[in-house]
């Protein structure tokens, strides 16, 4: 990911000539370590997995050696060592989007909203683009069927390919294209010969249309997926999701894990009710004697965040009043800026 602090990509010596969108939220899911090996001549570089990009007809721009930055600083993440969140408030070239990845319980929840652009070209979010291996199974309200070639779904529930499952909300315009693609390594880096090759490629993306205004998406990447698992996940959603311009969140269906991204001071109903006084990313995990709170400042600008939760808890810099616990969280500074702070909230019984 890139921000106004971090360059998005670099090119030199006529190498990485197609990499202009590498810092736009590219998301690669590896299982066999072979999914993307040598795929670069065959990629549609305006549909890099995970990115939200204007699908114009111009050639990929080759920037200078230091690439570019985007026009926002709310880019970062939070982690407790087992689960994590990444967030990218994307603003560049007239396109904006709030993009988030919540990596919970061996699944990746991909959320996007506030997708807006005044362009006569369509805007797409790429779900994946990898080598085509084996059958593609799709599920809609009409049933399950093997699909191939080029299709557009308006009610896709889930799709399964190469042991990766894609769980949708059934409300997006999802496009599939599978089959032969030609390309040349010379277009990637001029040190290679200009020889046309071909490969079978699987490409899945969400179409937000032309001049999108506050469009959104939500899908879940499921590694090691099977038809049985995807059918069960469709019937029993693994997470409750919120996806709006002020907040993106996921709560596991067992109620033990929650992730929140707040783009402003806000409240949420998770874990009985929480509140923050500044934008942030946080995770809450239930423990035997309370909660573990992991929190960070993706903007790298804050000194502290005040966090409030319903109930009586003890923690450093905490105070209890009127049935709620306020915690003042001091954030890392200097070289530690942006890193996760973990606070243990021990529940206190009220008699």
Name the domain count of the chain.
Answer: 2
223 and 323 inside one domain: no
Of 190, 219, 234, which marks where a domain is finished? 234
Query: CATH number, domain at 160?
Result: 2.70.98.10
322 and 208 inside one domain: no
Q: Is residue 251 part of a domain?
A: no
The alpha helices in the chain, defined as continuous H runs, are: 227-235
Question: Mind giving me the DSSP string for 227-268?
Answer: HHHHHHHHHS-SEEEEESSSEEEEEETTSSEEEEEESSSEEE
Determine contact, residues 56/199, Cβ cutoff 8 Å: no
Q: Is residue 323 part of a domain?
A: yes
pLDDT of residue 71: 87
218 and 93 inside one domain: yes
201 and 288 inside one domain: no
Q: Quick check: helix, strand or coil at residue 269?
A: coil
190 and 311 inside one domain: no
Pairing mode, strands 164-168 and 95-104: unpaired
User: The tokens 């109930």 sit on which residue?
Assistant: 311
Of 191, 219, 234, which marks where a domain is finished? 234
Each residue's pLDDT tens digit in the chain (351 positions)? Answer: 888 888 887 888 888 889 889 999 999 999 988 889 999 999 999 999 999 999 999 998 887 667 778 889 999 999 999 999 999 999 988 999 999 999 999 999 999 999 999 999 999 999 999 999 999 999 999 999 999 889 999 999 999 999 999 999 878 899 999 999 999 999 999 999 999 999 999 999 999 999 999 999 999 999 999 999 999 999 999 999 999 999 999 999 999 999 999 999 999 999 999 999 999 999 999 998 999 999 999 999 999 999 999 999 999 999 999 999 999 999 999 999 999 999 999 998 654
Q: Is residue 249 part of a domain?
A: no
Q: Is residue 9 part of a domain?
A: no
Output the six-digit token pair for 319: 């105070």
pLDDT of residue 6: 83
147 and 203 inside one domain: yes
**How far apart, in Å, are the Cα atoms of 97 and each of 175, 221, 236, 239, 304?**
20, 20, 29, 22, 26
Of 182, 213, 234, which marks where a domain is finished? 234
The Cα–Cα gap between 231 and 209 comes to 29
268 and 221 inside one domain: no
Query: CATH number, domain at 304?
Result: 2.60.220.10
193 and 296 inside one domain: no
Q: Is residue 55 part of a domain?
A: yes
Q: Is residue 3 part of a domain?
A: no
Output the six-digit token pair for 70: 């985007």
199 and 308 inside one domain: no
Could you list the residue range(s) of the whole structural domain that residue 150 is in? 19-234
180 and 93 inside one domain: yes
195 and 272 inside one domain: no
284 and 193 inside one domain: no
Q: Is residue 168 part of a domain?
A: yes
Total-model pTM: 0.95
Q: Is residue 36 part of a domain?
A: yes
């Amino acid at each position: 990911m890139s921000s106004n602090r971090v360059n998005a990509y670099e090119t030199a010596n006529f190498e990485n000539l197609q990499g202009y969108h590498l810092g736009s939220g590219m998301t690669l899911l590896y299982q066999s370590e072979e999914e993307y090996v040598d795929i670069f001549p065959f990629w549609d570089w305006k549909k890099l997995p995970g990115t939200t990009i204007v699908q114009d007809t111009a050639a990929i721009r080759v920037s200078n050696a230091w690439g570019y930055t985007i026009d926002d600083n709310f880019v970062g993440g939070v982690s407790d060592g087992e689960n994590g969140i990444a967030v990218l408030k994307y603003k560049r070239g007239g396109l904006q989007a709030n993009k988030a990845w919540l990596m919970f319980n061996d699944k990746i929840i991909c959320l996007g909203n506030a997708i807006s652009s005044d362009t006569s070209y369509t805007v797409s979010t790429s779900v994946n683009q990898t080598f085509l291996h084996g059958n593609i199974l799709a599920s809609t309200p009409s049933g399950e069927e093997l699909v191939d070639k080029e299709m557009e779904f308006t009610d896709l529930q889930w799709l399964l390919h190469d042991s990766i499952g894609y769980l949708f909300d059934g409300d997006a315009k999802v496009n599939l294209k599978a089959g032969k693609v030609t390309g040349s390594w010379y277009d990637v880096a001029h040190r290679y010969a200009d020889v046309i090759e071909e490969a079978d490629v699987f490409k899945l993306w969400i179409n937000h249309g032309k001049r999108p205004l506050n469009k959104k998406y939500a899908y879940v990447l499921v590694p090691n997926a099977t038809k049985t698992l995807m059918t069960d996940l469709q019937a029993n959603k693994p997470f409750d999701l919120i996806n709006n311009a002020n907040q993106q969140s996921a709560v596991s269906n067992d109620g033990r894990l929650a992730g929140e991204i707040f783009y402003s001071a806000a409240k949420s109903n998770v874990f009985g009710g929480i509140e923050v006084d500044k934008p942030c990313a946080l995770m809450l995990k239930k423990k035997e004697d309370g909660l573990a709170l992991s929190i960070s400042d993706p903007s790298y600008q804050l000194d502290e965040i005040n966090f409030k939760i319903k109930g009586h808890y003890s923690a450093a810099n905490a105070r209890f009043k009127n049935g709620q616990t306020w915690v003042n969280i001091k954030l890392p500074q200097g070289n530690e800026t942006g890193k996760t702070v973990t606070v243990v909230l021990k529940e206190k019984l009220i008699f």
